[in-house]
Chain A
Amino acid sequence: MEMLLGGLMEILQPQTLLLICAGTLVGVLVGALPGLSSSMAVALLLPFTIYLDPIPAIAMLAALYCAGTFGGSITAILINAPGAPPAAATAFDGYPLAKNGQAGRALGMAAASSVAGGIFSLFVLIFAAPFLATIAYRFGPPEYFALTVFGLSMLASISGKSAVKNLIGGAFGVLIATVGVDLTTGVERFTFGVPELYEGISFIPVLIGLFAMAELLDQATQKDRPLERFAMSALKLPTVEDFKRVWKTILRSSGIGTFVGILPAEGSTVAAMIGYNEAKRWSPNKDNFGKGEIEGVAGPEAANNAATGGAMVPTLALGIPGSATAAVILGGLQIHGLRPGPYLFENQPNLLYAIFFAMLLANFVFLAFGLVGARYFSRISLIPRQFLWPTVFCLCVVGAFGVGQSLNDVYIMLVAGFIGYFLNRAGFSPAPIIMGLVLGHLVENSLAQSMILFDQDAWKFFTRPIAVFFFVLAIVSVFSTPIGRLIKTRKREDADKLAHGNE
């Protein structure tokens, strides 16, 4: 209770409140912009938070994460161009509703179910994370190795075109992580005698390159597509009848979203797809789906926002990111010298509660922004590209330089951008690469540490029940991709066509 109040006090500073509101506003705007995703926005904003205290910095990033997921639904409903992939499923029914002149109703439902899903998942976060952290005390190198292998295996079912390509992307990320002096042998690897590479390739420039720079290059090759926008008078909160119709869907999707979010590597997009499919499966108005069914808006929106809170659970408790954006936030924690895991809660007891309140607040702030400004936000997609993308380019360069004050990081960012552009064209998405990069050190070092602890006898992994449990999960996830089956491939391809970017 004391810690709860402590966390609240951290947030109730004028500066922090302002930062959370700013993060939420940026999140909604960025989320609404097709091409700009919340992972990209968090990556671009991260270098600027170095000069803040850890709690305001992380609170702002977390608020942006929440709001970005909601923002995507505005453009999904009004112009059938999801601002971010998690909102792709929202467009299936949101856009037909808007066409029927019910844009206000659809947006109101999107906002209300987003808030409901978001808050549901935050309460799971506040109870599950400390619990998970107490178990994490029992996590030594062997357990971390097994957990990381499980996390990497989940890449097989992360959003994107092909499971094989995702796994290749993950392996590529792990490969990038091997550059530098090896922790367990002290040997230099892939440094080519360049001193700047001894300490490895810095995470943030790669992140900015893959998420922002690559998307920029991709956008530069595309023609402007004229967008048709629906007029709407005002955003309407759901009526009692609507609410009666969807509350079961919202509750179900909140649960699904939170669970999917907790799974390592699985983010909002997968959650939204499953949320949509399940809403359809259980609905009495099945046939109306795709033609403008309000449940088809509530289902994915509750799920994708629930995934944000869920994704923070393993990120904070174990240091294993629950989604691509959570991976970026994890990078932020590390920049501020905070090591996620059980010690984080002990050394920074206020942090978890501060993040909880920041995200909770963000949910209400974006509801307010949505109510007042949805129709203005939808105009953001009309910003001419020739102004938008050069701005993003400036942010890329400044962000890459800012962290280490080194031009080398800018070169790394540019190289990562070009690599990311060609990989995108070849059908690889950047999220698995980032996961590989984040988990690469952990998977390799924990294996090496385990082998030393086991006196080089790999069979001793079987003496650790938690490790065996995760190994089994990893095998299951690669060979059956149970989550993958729930998502119809066709829907996923539709979503990929509609949306650019990640998460």
Chain B
Amino acid sequence: MTFLKTAAFAAATLALTAGSVTANDFPSQPVEVVTHASAGGGTDTTARTMLIRARRELGTDAFVQIKKGGGGTVAMSYVSGKPADGHTLMAITPTHLITMARGRAPIELEDIKGVVRSTDDPIILVVSKSSGITSFKDLKEVSKQAPIKWGGTQAGGIDHIAAITFSNKSGVKIAYVPFDGGGAMITNLMGGNIQAAGLNYGEAVDGIESGDFIPLGVMAEKRLTALPDTPTLAELGVEDVNFSTVRGIVVMADTPAERVAALEAKLLKAMNHGTYQAYLEGIGLDPTSIGGSEEWDAQIRSMYANIYQTLGDLGLRK
């Protein structure tokens, strides 16, 4: 009897679920956001903060699934193995694009579609006060004698690509010095071992306020609201060098368009809530960080083109 009851209940549940799917009631199951980085890092925190309100907007549970390794490779193969029904989202950074461009990823750029951008943290060209450089003109002059010692992270990473692209387009000669993290970079910039570095606002702000660092230009289309006196590189005559520590959500490209649209609308609403806005402010960003599907998808593609080109120049692409 009990068994029969259970069976009947199960059948009823199945029927209900089936009914809801046909009614296109999306999302019908918990939504997972797949990340490639450790818990507690920037990508993880951004995804989790976004999900606080997104759960309410989506009307379902949502969680962060960490798939570490291989510069996003592990995360990308996990996501590509899941049905493209809008329940599996991937949080991507330039790292994923670099992995794709180097031909190491299981998927290609055509396989993903941008949904929303969640942070956009431009790289700022910063020089140390002890370098004696105070303007972009100085930088160019000094580089004629000896290449500017420019600090950044991992060779072949976004900082490196940004620095080399800048050097190619501006004619400023640089010698790129890779460090294993922002902390080491800043120590060495303070200590005068390197002359310049590409830093995020959050990394540079203490040094700029104390006067030890001088920001020369922002690698973005618009000036930063936090640094209104610092020109963009385009204003300095160096076009198309826009790089940022950008994070956003993508899905597999064959996900139904109406579901992508639904996700876009709900996630945007979630990120415009005070909870997420406060988080952005805390890391030195403003609401322009957030972007919709069209803008974000276009940015992914233009960034990829720049990365692909520079990696080829550096001999790091297959």
Contact = CB atoms under 8 A, between A and B. Distances in A.
A196 B69 contact: yes
Given A183-B180, A453-B149, 18 more contacts: A141-B177, A141-B188, A181-B71, A181-B156, A183-B155, A186-B155, A187-B316, A195-B69, A196-B74, A198-B104, A199-B68, A199-B69, A342-B187, A405-B68, A445-B180, A449-B178, A452-B177, A453-B193
A452 B149 contact: yes
Given A183-B154, A196-B74, A199-B69, A339 B149 contact: no
A200 to B, nearest CB: 10
A50 B66 CA distance: 15
A337 B182 CA distance: 11
Interface in B151-193: 154-157, 160, 175-181, 183-184, 186-188, 190-191, 193
B316 A140 contact: no
Nearest to A50: B39
Interface in A370-408: 404-406, 408
Contacts of A243: none
B187 A137 contact: yes
Contact of B157 (A186, A339, A342, A405): A186
Contacts of A183: 154-155, 178-180
A198 B184 contact: no
Contacts of A339: 181, 183-184
B93 interface: no
Contacts of B184: 339
Interface in B75-100: 77
Across chains A and B, which 8 residue pairs bring their CB atoms closest together, nearest first?
A186-B156, A195-B70, A140-B193, A186-B155, A195-B73, A339-B183, A196-B69, A198-B70
Contacts of B224: none
Q: Which of A187, A198, A441, A448 has the most CB of B within 10 A?
A: A198
A452 B152 CA distance: 13
B274 interface: no
Contact of B68 (A343, A404, A441): A404
Nearest to A185: B155
22 contacts: A50-B39, A138-B191, A183-B155, A185-B155, A186-B155, A195-B73, A195-B74, A195-B77, A195-B104, A196-B69, A197-B70, A198-B69, A341-B183, A341-B187, A343-B187, A404-B68, A445-B178, A445-B179, A448-B178, A453-B193, A453-B194, A455-B175
A343 to B, nearest CB: 5
Interface string A175-199: 0000001111111000000011111
A199 B41 CA distance: 16
Contacts of B175: 452-453, 455
Interface of B: 38-41, 66, 68-71, 73-74, 77, 104, 146, 149, 154-157, 160, 175-181, 183-184, 186-188, 190-191, 193-194, 314, 316
Given A137-B190, A342-B187, A453-B193, A184 B74 contact: no
Most buried by A among B41, B77, B180, B186: B180
B129 to A, nearest CB: 15
A139 B194 CA distance: 12
Given A341-B187, A405-B66, A199 B156 contact: no
Interface in A392-451: 404-406, 408, 441, 445, 448-449
B137 to A, nearest CB: 24
B40 A453 contact: no
A199 B177 contact: no
Contacts, number: 90
Question: Which of the listed residues A183, A337, A406 has the most CB atoms from chain B within 10 Å of its own CB?
Answer: A183
Nearest to A136: B187
Nearest to B153: A183
A449 B179 contact: yes
Interface in A10-55: 50
Given A195-B70, A452-B176, A141 B193 contact: yes
Contact of A196 (B39, B70, B186, B191): B70
A185 B311 CA distance: 12
Contacts of B71: 181, 195, 198-199
Nearest to A335: B38
Contact of A406 (B40, B68, B190): B68
Contacts of A448: 178
B199 to A, nearest CB: 14
B136 to A, nearest CB: 23
A198 B66 CA distance: 16
B40 A337 contact: yes
Contacts of B154: 181, 183, 186
Contacts of B146: 455
Nearest to B147: A455
Contacts of B316: 186-187
A196 B186 CA distance: 29
Contacts of A184: 155, 178
A182 B177 contact: no
Contacts of B73: 195, 198
A342 B187 CA distance: 8
Contacts of B149: 452-453
A62 to B, nearest CB: 21
Contacts of A140: 188, 191, 193
Contacts of B66: 405
Nearest to B187: A343
B94 to A, nearest CB: 14
Nearest to A405: B66
Contacts of A455: 146, 175
Nearest to B68: A404
A191 to B, nearest CB: 9
A342 B190 CA distance: 12
Contacts of B181: 339
B69 A441 contact: no
Nearest to B71: A198
A181 B95 CA distance: 13
Contacts of B176: 452
